[in-house]
A = this chain, B = another copy of it.
Amino acid sequence: MDVAVDDQAVSEIFRVLDLTGVLANAVLGGVIARRERLDPIGFVVLATLTGLGGGLIRDTLLQAGPPVALTDPTYLLTALAGAAIAYVVRVEGRAWDGTWPVVDAVALGCWASVGAQRTLDVGLGWLPAILLGTITATGGGLVRDVVLRRVPGILGGGTLYATSAIAAAGTQVTATAVGYPVAGSLVALAVGAGLVLLARRRGWMLPD
């Protein structure tokens, strides 16, 4: 038991971080839609795919009921809000360039942790938990890139993005195995987010 941690508070924190990640990634989808000169539907498609795609793939593979993104309306509304923001505001410049990487890193750690835990909760093992944690964190970007006919960033050339998700999901799995799922999720989040930021700052990449 996680006696040292307030479970309810951590769960609340993760929900906020999760939705912040959806919003930020939906805005990113919209920013890409603007760059590609798409119409409003294009904004919605890219924002939804980027913000919710990873979770949708995870929940579809888990087969434990309809995806959270469909049962909890907050997710879809948040993704649509992201699309609207990117459509109305020209999201660029220093504020975005300074904020986005941090929000993105936190979202990655949060999603990897949540995805791994949800897989364990359904009764699957540690290996699928790491896989689905990683898919939760990176799947949306992958699908968006495929739809846009780009080489998906996850295939290489980036700075430890998937690797950080694997590390975060692995931390979550380990923490749950030793009996501290809730406290562990905070550590997993920190590991994932920290590694993404460090790798980006220092240009760390995997060797070919």
The number of times this chain is found in the oligomer is 3
A6 at interface, CB cutoff 8 A:
no
Determine if B127 and A157 form an interchain contact, defined as CB atoms under 8 angstroms apart: no
A76/B149 contact (C-beta < 8 A), A38-B155, A41-B206 known: no
Which residues between 72 and 95 of chain A lie within 8 Å of chain B, taking CB atoms?
73, 76-77
Chain B hits for A63, CB < 8 A: 60, 63, 65-67
Chain B hits for A61, CB < 8 A: 56, 60, 66-67, 70
Chain B hits for A76, CB < 8 A: 127-128, 131
CB distance from A130 to the nearest CB of B (A): 9
Determine if B124 and A206 form an interchain contact, defined as CB atoms under 8 angstroms apart: no
Determine if A155 and B36 form an interchain contact, defined as CB atoms under 8 angstroms apart: yes
In the complex, per-residue mask of A146-173: 1 if CB is within 8 Å of any chain B CB, else 0: 1111011011110000110000000000
CB distance from A2 to the nearest CB of B (A): 27
A127/B73 contact (C-beta < 8 A), A61-B56, A66-B62 known: yes
Which residues between 42 and 69 of chain A lie within 8 Å of chain B, taking CB atoms?
42, 45-46, 48, 56, 60-67
Query: Counting chain B CB atoms within 10 Å of each CB, which of A39, A56, A60, A205 scores highest?
Result: A39
Report how far A56 CA is from B162 CA in the complex, Å: 21
Report how far A104 CA is from B66 CA in the complex, Å: 29
**CB contact between A208 and one of B37, B124, B157 (< 8 Å): that residue:** B37
A40 at interface, CB cutoff 8 A:
yes
Instruction: Select from chain B the residue with minimum beta-carbon distance to A206.
Output: B39
A71 at interface, CB cutoff 8 A:
yes
A156/B38 contact (C-beta < 8 A), A70-B124, A122-B66, A124-B66 known: yes
The 4 closest A-B pairs by CB, nearest first: A39-B206, A38-B156, A39-B156, A70-B128
State the A residues within 8 Å of B (CB).
Answer: 33, 36-42, 45-46, 48, 56, 60-67, 70-71, 73, 76-77, 122, 124-125, 127-128, 131-132, 142, 146-149, 151-152, 154-157, 162-163, 205-208
